């Protein structure tokens, strides 16, 4: 070996050992790392256990402060174990902390309250099933207090307290006795650890708002203009007056005065539970007289004479009313007692044939009397109720043609049940729905006051009632609905 060869061999040796050394470092050098297990599953490796613990501790401190609690439970079944490993895939402590939080949130002691959804029936749209509502609170009393506040939105505090304390006044002449108040939904309260990822209510106002509106978001507002009245603001914003008053508890009735610049709430209420109130009511009702037109073929066309003036009467009515979240759901007249009899107005008209054209100014009430209007014409639950719901005269009681005309349609649909359309041949149509029976056929001429069917509960309907609508033009298509009460 010459000097040169020795030198090259030496260099080669150094180089190869260097390569070997580098290779060894890259491939096989074991490291001391921490393997993080969550519920027995590896979620990654970190270098600094203390740093991960600090992330967790800081989060716990922040949550303790946020909820004002002594104990915040870190994610369950978290194990951090030291390992000598060849695995080089290291996560940052923050990445691992975020993964842990996503998979297993921090928990605190509290209550999970489930308000079971109940099926509600919507007369025009068919059946709707409401979803369960889950509310998390730290203090059960906060929930109880919020329920009480929500109940008092629908039942005045005074009436509610009198009912609870059994101190309601007996009815001597007229008045209302609350027979029962209850929440229809099943409510379960479970104590235990609740996730801090959920919305946990700690503020009474926020929870009140949630139980009433179904959201804690800011409600839509309106600034009152000169001349505004509550009923118009409500109608223009698709609210019933009752809904408006609930969203604006500072007002007690639609006749309350507003001032220019005043800000009112336009939130549509969506209560998280159904409060049922059963009332026994005794009241004096005014009974408007009917107008009866008698046609006489021996008299000249155009002859018209009032032979008897109408006189309004009064009747004492005892009724059972069931309300759901403040709105009448069903009403039954138990007894009636005539205080002052009603006298019909009778008009004699000369006519060769009985006309099928309706009178514009005179309409016949479509049910027996006395009756209860359980739902008026107007906005309700964000939809326009295009007619009156009339109840109280009993299943099978007669339904009368509201005016002269011809039967345009008669049949059955799953929402309207048995229904009749009458074309009054003067631009107006009237419709009658949820009938027990239909006593007319399409094309038949009817006079105002003729019996056309009987009251029932067919189709989607709460209790026995007549849905009565009047349309200018063809119902639901080219025509538009009008408030039937404008005609009586």
DSSP assignments along 250-275, one per residue: T--STT----TT-EEE-PPP--SS-E
| Smallest distance, Zn ion to C-beta of residue 189, A | 37
Helix (H) or strand (E) holding 147: helix 140-154
Q: Are 193 and 73 in contact (CB under 8 A)?
A: yes
Q: Which residues make up the interface to Zn ion (CB under 5 A)?
A: 389, 467
| Smallest distance, Zn ion to C-beta of residue 430, A | 13
| Smallest distance, Zn ion to C-beta of residue 387, A | 5
| Smallest distance, Zn ion to C-beta of residue 124, A | 7
Residue closer to Zn ion by CB (options 277, 389) is: 389
Q: Which of 291, 288, 318, 461 is nearest to 387 (CA)?
A: 461
Peptide bond into 370 cis (omega under 30): yes
Query: What is the chain's Cα-based Rg?
Result: 37
Residue 206 phi, psi (nearest 5): -65, -45
Residue closer to Zn ion by CB (options 424, 467) is: 467
Q: Which of 391, 337, 403 is nearest to 367 (CA)?
A: 391
Quick one: CA dihedral 437, 471, 124, 328, positive or negative?
negative
CA distances (Å), origin 340, targets 289, 311, 317, 380, 393: 12, 10, 13, 35, 19
| Smallest distance, Zn ion to C-beta of residue 451, A | 21
| Smallest distance, Zn ion to C-beta of residue 95, A | 59
Residue 26 phi, psi (nearest 5): -70, -40
| Smallest distance, Zn ion to C-beta of residue 453, A | 16
Residue closer to Zn ion by CB (options 289, 462) is: 462
DSSP state of 381: T
| Smallest distance, Zn ion to C-beta of residue 433, A | 7
Position closest to Zn ion via CB = 467
Residue closer to Zn ion by CB (options 108, 390) is: 390
How far apart, in whole angstroms, are the C-alpha atoms of residue 230 and residue 254? 5
CA distances (Å), origin 149, targets 144, 155, 208, 210, 327: 9, 10, 7, 12, 18
Residue closer to Zn ion by CB (options 389, 450) is: 389
Quick one: CA dihedral 140, 143, 145, 147, positive or negative?
negative
Residue 90 phi, psi (nearest 5): -105, 135
How far apart, in whole angstroms, are the C-alpha atoms of residue 147 and residue 211? 8
Residue closer to Zn ion by CB (options 210, 419) is: 419
Residue closer to Zn ion by CB (options 323, 467) is: 467
Residue closer to Zn ion by CB (options 115, 388) is: 388
Q: Which of 112, 277, 271 is nearest to 187 (CA)?
A: 112
| Smallest distance, Zn ion to C-beta of residue 454, A | 17
Q: Is 465 helix (H, G, I), strand (E, B) or coil?
A: strand
Residue closer to Zn ion by CB (options 39, 383) is: 383
């Amino acid at each position: 070996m010459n000097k040169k060869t020795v030198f090259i061999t030496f260099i080669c040796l150094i180089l190869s050992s260097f390569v070997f050394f580098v290779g060894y470092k890259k491939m096989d050098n074991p490291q001391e790392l921490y393997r993080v297990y969550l519920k027995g599953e590896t979620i990654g490796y970190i270098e600094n256990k203390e740093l991960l613990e600090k992330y967790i501790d800081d989060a716990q401190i922040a949550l303790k402060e946020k909820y004002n609690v002594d104990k915040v439970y870190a994610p369950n079944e978290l194990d951090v174990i030291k390992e000598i490993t060849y695995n080089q895939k290291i996560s940052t402590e923050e990445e691992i902390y975020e993964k842990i939080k996503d998979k297993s949130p921090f928990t605190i002691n509290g209550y999970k309250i489930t308000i079971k959804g109940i099926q509600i029936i919507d007369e025009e749209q068919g059946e709707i099933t409401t979803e369960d509502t889950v509310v998390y609170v730290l203090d059960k009393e906060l929930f109880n207090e919020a329920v009480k506040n929500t109940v008092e939105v629908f039942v005045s505090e005074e009436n509610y307290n009198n009912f609870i304390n059994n101190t309601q006044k007996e009815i001597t002449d007229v008045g209302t006795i609350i027979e029962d108040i209850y929440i229809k939904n099943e409510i379960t309260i479970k104590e235990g650890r609740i996730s801090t990822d959920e919305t946990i209510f700690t503020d009474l106002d926020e929870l009140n708002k949630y139980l009433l509106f179904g959201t804690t978001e800011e409600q839509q507002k309106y600034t009152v203009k000169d001349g505004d009245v509550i009923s118009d603001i409500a109608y223009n914003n698709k609210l019933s007056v009752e809904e408006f008053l609930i969203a604006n508890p500072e007002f007690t009735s639609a006749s309350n005065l507003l001032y220019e610049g005043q800000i009112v709430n336009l939130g549509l209420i969506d209560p998280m539970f159904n409060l049922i109130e059963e009332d026994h009511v005794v009241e004096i009702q005014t009974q408007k007289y009917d107008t009866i037109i008698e046609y006489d073929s021996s008299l000249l066309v155009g002859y018209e004479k009032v032979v008897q003036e109408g006189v309004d009467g009064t009747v004492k009515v005892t009724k059972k009313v069931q309300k759901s979240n403040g709105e009448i759901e069903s009403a039954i007249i138990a007894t009636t007692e005539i205080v002052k009899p009603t006298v019909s107005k009778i008009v004699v008209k000369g006519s060769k044939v009985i006309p099928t054209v309706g009178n514009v100014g005179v309409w016949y009430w479509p049910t027996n009397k006395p009756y209860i209007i359980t739902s008026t014409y107007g906005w309700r639950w964000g939809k326009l109720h295009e007619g009156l719901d009339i109840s109280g005269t009993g299943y099978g009681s007669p339904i009368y043609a509201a005016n002269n005309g011809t039967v345009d349609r008669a049949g059955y649909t799953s929402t309207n049940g048995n229904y009749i359309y009458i074309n009054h041949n003067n631009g107006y149509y009237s419709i009658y729905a949820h009938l027990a029976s239909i006593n007319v056929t399409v094309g038949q001429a009817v006079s105002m006051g003729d019996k056309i069917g009987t009251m029932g509960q067919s189709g989607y309907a709460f209790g026995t009632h007549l849905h009565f609508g009047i349309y200018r033009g063809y119902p639901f298509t080219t025509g538009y609905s009008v408030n039937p009460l404008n005609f009586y």
